[in-house]
Amino acid sequence: MATSSESLPQDPASSRGQTRKGLTLSSFNWLGVLPFFLFALMFLILPTLTLMVGAFQDANGHFTLANIGKLFDSNILSAYQISIEVSAASALGGSVIGMLLALAAIQGGLPQWIRPTLMTFSGVASNFAGVPLSFAFLSTLGRMGLVTVLLRTYADIDLYGTGFTILSFLGLTLTYLYFQIPLMVLIVTPAIDGLRAEWREACESLGGSGFHYWWHIALPILWPSILGSALLLFANAFGAVATAYALTGSSLNIVPILLYAQIRGDVLHDQNLGYALALGMVVITGLSNAGYIWLRSRAERGRE
Amino acid sequence: MKTSRIGAWVAIAIGTLYFLLPLIATFEFSLKMNRDGYSFEAYKVVLSDPGFQATFGYSTLMALLTIIVGILLVVPTAYWIQLKLPRLRPVVEFITLMPLVIPAIVIVFGYLKLYNSSSWLPLTGNDRATDFLLMCSYVTLALPYLYRSIDTGLRAIDVRTLTEAAESLGASWPNILFKVIFPNVKSAILSGAFLTFAVVIGEFTMASLLGRPAFGPYLQLIGANRAYEPSALAIIAFLVTWASMGLIQVFARNARGTRKSA
């Protein structure tokens, strides 16, 4: 990385006899990043800001808090609640299972090839979200899905007789885990790699058991990474539209699908309420990402 | 020690089961289109569907344009930040991570409010302009992946020395960028490009809400109306994702190999 002395813009060019260039640099420097900032402004920042503003306006453009108030209507509140529950369940499950998988592959004393295989597969599976993923789970746990049929034929278990359906809370969570677990594996691996063998040896030479090592040494070091990653997973699931929409259509009332329906056909009959819905999503994903960044910086400080 | 190894095997076995079962089930289901036994009929039907060819072609083209524009936007920016404006690095990093924080559906909702046909810049007014808007939305989605991989690539080389060497030989700025910097971060660019391809090719939310005939909305439509074709399409999509990720690994390994031998 560049040190601070290198970062002074006039320094290297002028000292090498290119004063003419060095003189015009200060104005020229900003031009170099102008396209990027223009692009970000037009296609990322302004579109988001305009929704944030719209959330606090009525149909005539006057300031109001009524839209925010309407977010607490029972229908919308329950959509947020189910969304948060599905995201939390898939984030919790994803981070615990992903953590265990990563631990098993890295520290479990398994053959060498397991780890790179898991990493490659995680790269693929964490990107295998959306519509095709919903097809895969319909073929697996749908009414005619392979697992459903196998269980009925060989184990005499009628999955759908127990009230299970892939279009439910549990079904959606199981589907989300397919990209949440691999994502966790990818994020948490560096943290697990940071656990030094000496710590374990020190613990063992002092007579500590495996439990002592995990409870008093490894977990206190890992927990900011684990919790932070869980927050990232939460935000990841909360914003997902395609998987849920292709899987359940509109039968499950979650926020991204409600917003999708609102954009397609104004189902809320109130454009500005739609903006407030979007604002609510950004607040929730923003908070969990802020938590992730804060916990990650803690974890990094702890490692130094 | 022995017990932990058994535990590790159990964890890997359960993980493998969970991750392979849906793939096996999907593949098995995709072969059942003909009543009298397994066949690749569903694949034949899908691949010869003009809708598949048109939407897959459209999304491939979109992905390529996204990659080109994304690279042209990100490489000079990351290079310039590294060379001249390191103080801006946190700002640029923050902006490139924003698409991971703001859900795609919110971003596209913002586009529809800002660029609708009665606005100051009616980008949703006609098909070509909407294509452009869709591509920009994909560049936005790809920003976190592209910037991270390219910035890492640039940090691994000595940008300052390379630039000064090129400058002292009289190279112009376009020459420095395209003939010196680009080739040196080629593998980083390629891995960002393949990741972008994997993200864009089946993207649903943006394309669907901007009303463009992309592969993602086509998948959804088939899923809602057909029985066996969706499974075949899911397998195809999985193979495309797998190929993109596999190519990243190949290029990363090559880059490491050349750097070691150099």
A134 interface with B at CB cutoff 8 Å: yes
pLDDT at A176 over 90: yes
pLDDT at B2 over 60: no
Please, is B127 exposed, middle or buried when counting C-beta atoms within 10 Å of its C-beta (0-12, 13-18, 19+)?
A: exposed
Write the CA distances from B111 to A42, A43, B134, B137, integer angstroms. 9, 7, 10, 9
pTM of the model: 0.87
pLDDT at B102 over 80: yes
pLDDT digits (tens, 9 = 90+) for B199-247: 999 999 999 999 999 999 999 999 988 889 999 999 999 999 999 888 8
User: pLDDT at position A21, please?
Assistant: 45
Structure confidence at residue A304 as a pLDDT band (50, 70, 90): low
A108 interface with B at CB cutoff 8 Å: yes
A33 interface with B at CB cutoff 8 Å: yes
Domain parsing of chain B, residue ranges: 1-30, 42-261
pLDDT at A1 over 60: no
pLDDT digits (tens, 9 = 90+) for B3-23: 668 888 999 999 999 999 999
Structure confidence at residue A25 as a pLDDT band (50, 70, 90): low
Structure confidence at residue A195 as a pLDDT band (50, 70, 90): confident
- The CATH fold of domain B42-261: MetI-like fold (1.10.3720)
Chain B residues with CB-CB distance to A135 below 8 A: 26, 219, 223, 230-231, 233-234
Look up residue A216 and give its DSSP letter: I
pLDDT digits (tens, 9 = 90+) for A203-235: 888 988 888 888 888 888 888 889 989 999 999
User: pLDDT at position A23, please?
Assistant: 42
Helix, strand and coil content of chain A, in percent to the nearest 5, comes to 75, 0, 25
Long-range pairs, B116-125, Cβ under 8 A, ≥24: B124/B210
pLDDT at A91 over 90: yes
Separation CA B116–CA B122 (nearest Å) = 5
Percent of chain B surpassing pLDDT 70: 95
User: pLDDT at position A7, please?
Assistant: 40
pLDDT at B256 over 80: no
CATH number of A71-303: 1.10.3720.10
Chain B residues with CB-CB distance to A146 below 8 A: 21, 24-25, 28-29
* Intervals of CATH 1.10.3720.10 along chain A: 71-303
Closest in B22, B100, B168 to A178, CB measured: B22
